[in-house]
Amino acid sequence: MSEDLKFLDDFILQANQGNLKTSQYAKEFSDLKMKVSFGIGMAARVPWISFLPQGMSTSNGYYPVYLYYRDINLLVLAFGISETFEYGMNWPQEIQDSYPKISSVITNPARYGDSFAFKTYQIKVQNGLVNLIRDEEIIDKRIVLLELTEILNIYKKILDLEVKDEKSVVSSGLFYMEKQLEDFIIENWDSTEFGTKLDLIFEEGSLQSQQYKTDIGSIDILAKDKVSGEYVVIELKKNQTSDDTVGQILRYMGWVKEKLKDVNVRGVIVAGKYDEKLNYARQMIPGLEVYIYEVQFNLREYKK
């Protein structure tokens, strides 16, 4: 077996064991971010491995992805499309016309039916060994690696065209969209100060914390204190914020207090910077904190 694909065998074996930890997996593959998920809080119906550029997330983007439909022992290497948020860009029409949707390959797929199937593999695990099968024949892992490399190269060419297009989402939106800040915090939750104190909210394995729906709007992030179980409303501002933000977060805190029956709900504002008006306002509001985020920008030469 190619060592380059050992992570795939490990992923398939773990998906059938109920272990949700992912810290042992590499964070990068072929100059793309590699994200692995078996679910959070409870096992996902469709575990996945996504391959992402800077500025995209699994919940907001389009990207190559392995989707493991455990109930039918089928692994799909797909031109993936996020289901949580509509990114604003999609796979080129040529891709959409050339490859079938997963919903036409799998009858009533549990999730990701609108993504496009590039390659499919029947999975057979025997004596701790993972075999990928197509047309009733075991596929050489070198072929599997070549197929992964092929879809990643297609993706990189598409991204290169998008970056050169000044009107594209990829070109114009990587560094200043508020949504990018939100996705970054969610994707890296366990590595932030929030992750040490707060838990994200899941229902039946589905993330509820991000853009938490209320009848007065959506809370950017709603979390719960790890110790007390009290709710924490988190509002994000990409640039400078002022005391006008206080009214917004107080409305959501009031909603949580009344609708979710939490009299000790707290609020957190995350911003690039803030002015003195906000500083004075927050001193008068118990349970309101302000965090300043910092971004480091690095350049790295791309080498094939």
Please list the rounded mean pLDDT of every run of 10 residues in the chain (304 residues).
Answer: 77 91 92 91 92 84 95 96 78 93 95 96 92 94 94 88 49 50 85 90 87 91 95 82 78 95 92 76 83 60 55
**Would you state the pLDDT for residue 169?**
45
**Would you state the pLDDT for residue 164?**
47
**Would you state the pLDDT for residue 175?**
36
Take residue 288 and report the two structure tokens written for it: 């309101």
Instruction: Out of 3.40.1350.10, 3.30.30.60, 3.30.70.100, 3.10.310.70, select the CATH number for domain 178-292.
Output: 3.40.1350.10
**Would you state the pLDDT for residue 154?**
93
Domain with CATH 3.30.920.90 in the chain: 3-172
Tell if the pTM clears 0.85, that is, is over it: no
Instruction: Out of 3.40.50.170, 3.30.70.920, 3.40.630.40, 3.30.920.90, select the CATH number for domain 3-172.
Output: 3.30.920.90
Take residue 223 and report the two structure tokens written for it: 């979390």
**Would you state the pLDDT for residue 54?**
75
Asked if 51 contacts 58 with a C-beta cutoff of 8 angstroms, the reply is: no
**Would you state the pLDDT for residue 87?**
67
**CA nearest neighbour of 91 among 64, 55, 120:** 64
Distances (CA, A) of 216 to 35, 79, 139, 287: 33, 36, 53, 21
**Would you state the pLDDT for residue 178?**
62
**Would you state the pLDDT for residue 18?**
81
**Would you state the pLDDT for residue 45?**
92
Amino acid occupying residue 160: D
**Would you state the pLDDT for residue 24?**
93
**Would you state the pLDDT for residue 174?**
37
**Would you state the pLDDT for residue 172?**
43
Between CA 117 and CA 86 the distance in angstroms is: 19
Domain with CATH 3.40.1350.10 in the chain: 178-292
Take residue 46 and report the two structure tokens written for it: 């469709």
**Would you state the pLDDT for residue 242?**
63
**Can you give the C-alpha Rg of the chain in angstroms?**
21
Distances (CA, A) of 101 to 5, 107, 111, 118: 25, 11, 12, 9
